Amino acid sequence: MIPAQPDHDRRRRLLQDLAAISPWDSVEAQHLEETAAWISSGAPLDRTAYDAPDPHLVAYFVVADPDREELLLGHHVKSGLRLPAGGHAEPGEALWQTVEREAAEELRLPAVPLLGQSPFFLTRTPTVGPRSHTDVSCWFVLRAHRQEVSWFDPGEYTAVEWLPWQRVLEEPIHQLDPNMHRFTHKLLAAVTAD
């Protein structure tokens, strides 16, 4: 187990990670600004109960098979939505540590970065359900081949599916994370830039 970072070091690193994200649109720019202010305020970052504090820090990781041009989405048990994998940061945990831990727990998959070990996208999203709260989600992109994902945590997902990148954009947004289309547009722009 990697030791927890001191709080001031962790906040400094989070602010550096946010500053390195090029916002896709005005929504992401606003989310980045609000999140930087939240981190700088000294407010608690990590979840201590299901809906507290509000907001709290999450690391999403979208698993991509670049050879097949597909993304992996899980049918999430609690939300009923098709979501990328991920989870809440533990106290003192660096975001990349969260990604590594959650990839092992939810998919038994090593965290192999496709676009680096820093967040690629950031969102602030109210969750669904009676105990709604705001997840501040730092989105990462992992590389894996379809055949490498042979198990998923049945406590988290009822099923997982691979979707072609373009098909993700055709899926009804009410069945996905509300930011999934925006993320996919940003990802496509990044991987087809060359």
Q: What are the domain boundaries of the chain?
A: 7-45+54-191
Report d(CA 61, CA 120) in Å as an integer: 10
* Model confidence, pTM: 0.94
Closest CA to 83 of 147, 135, 18: 135
The mean pLDDT of 58-76, rounded to a whole number, is 96
Report d(CA 135, CA 193) in Å as an integer: 30
Q: Mean pLDDT score of the chain, rounded to an integer?
A: 93
Whether 144 has a pLDDT exceeding 70, the answer reads: yes
Whether 54 has a pLDDT exceeding 90, the answer reads: no
Report d(CA 143, CA 49) in Å as an integer: 31
**Which residue is it, tokens 């998959």?**
109
Give the 3-state secondary structure of residue 58. Answer: strand
Report d(CA 177, CA 67) in Å as an integer: 24
Whether 130 has a pLDDT exceeding 80, the answer reads: no
Alpha helix locations (H) across 41-141?
Answer: 95-107
Percent of the chain predicted with pLDDT > 70: 97
Which two tokens mark 157?
A: 């997902």
Query: Tell me, what DSSP letter sits at residue 71?
Result: E
Whether 129 has a pLDDT exceeding 80, the answer reads: no
Asked if residues 121 and 28 have their Cβ atoms less than 8 Å apart, the reply is: yes
Report d(CA 189, CA 23) in Å as an integer: 12
Q: Is CATH 3.90.870.10 the right assignment for the domain spanning 7-45+54-191?
A: no
